């Protein structure tokens, strides 16, 4: 494979790096370097969310620290699931030179015209009923400036639509892509927790993306 290709899998709200264990194990066995960081107050981090992460940037700090520590010239493929899509967008905004591609896996994907909270506010029912973490950060994200074309917008993006998702419905996933077109759209016939319900298919999908964009 030559230089080992590096993938960073970013979990969604109320989850942790553990949610990727099936996918991460298979990708490592295939020869990739894989990181599955716990975001602040998530996974094995015992801190309370409101204490550890008063802002969305604080919540994203473990991912940002990982990218900041990469040697010069190293680039990763970021994969964000669900709310993790906004973490990936923030990381791409701050470290575009370190991101070979950003993959949104049935994830919230912000655009460049509206503030980062926009995609959460458009799905009020989901935010209020399922995503206590995302609902906490709506107010903070609502006062942040939109992501820029020179930062986040300079990174190649792939959206993976999960067609049987009842959390972030297929129609809403496609609406985000229509509103802000990406380099490529892929589909998996899976529910919202695709990394657990269709891990083999997801591994094949991610492998194709990594080989194409790195």
CATH tag for 6-213 (out of 3.10.180.10, 3.40.50.1820, 3.30.70.2860, 3.10.20.30): 3.40.50.1820
Identity of the highest mean pLDDT range in 85-94, 130-139, 144-153: 85-94
Catalytic residues: 82, 165, 192
Kindly list the domain boundaries of the chain, sorted by start residue.
6-213
Handedness of CA 120, 123, 128, 130 (dihedral sign): negative
**Per-residue pLDDT tens digits for 81-99:** 999 999 999 999 999 999 9
* d(C-alpha 122, C-alpha 53), whole Å: 23
| Tens-place pLDDT, residues 16-54 | 999 999 999 999 999 999 999 999 999 899 988 888 898
Q: Measured between alpha carbons, how far is residue 163 from residues 1, 106, 123, 186, 190 in Å? A: 32, 9, 17, 10, 6
Residue 1 has pLDDT above 50, yes or no: no
Q: In terms of Cα–Cα distance, which of 10, 203, 160 is closest to 89?
A: 10
pLDDT at 180: 93
């Amino acid at each position: 494979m030559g230089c080992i290709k590096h993938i960073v899998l970013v979990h969604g709200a109320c989850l942790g790096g553990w949610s990727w264990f099936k996918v991460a194990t298979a990708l490592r066995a295939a020869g990739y370097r894989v990181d599955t960081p716990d975001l602040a107050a998530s996974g094995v981090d015992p801190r309370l969310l409101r204490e550890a992460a008063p802002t969305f940037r604080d919540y994203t700090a473990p991912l940002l620290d990982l990218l900041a520590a990469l040697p010069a010239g190293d680039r990763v493929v970021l994969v964000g699931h669900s709310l993790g899509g906004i973490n990936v967008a923030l990381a791409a905004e701050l470290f575009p030179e370190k991101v070979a591609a950003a993959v949104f896996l049935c994830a919230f994907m912000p655009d460049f015209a509206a503030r980062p909270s926009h995609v959460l506010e458009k799905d009020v029912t989901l935010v209020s009923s399922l995503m206590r973490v995302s609902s906490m950060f709506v107010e903070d994200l609502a006062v942040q400036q939109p992501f820029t074309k020179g930062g986040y917008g300079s990174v190649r993006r792939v959206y993976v639509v999960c067609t049987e998702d009842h959390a972030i419905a297929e129609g809403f996933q496609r609406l985000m892509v229509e509103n802000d077109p990406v380099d490529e759209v892929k589909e998996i016939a899976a529910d919202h927790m695709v990394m657990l319900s269709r891990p083999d298919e997801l591994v094949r999908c991610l492998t194709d993306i990594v080989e194409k964009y790195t």
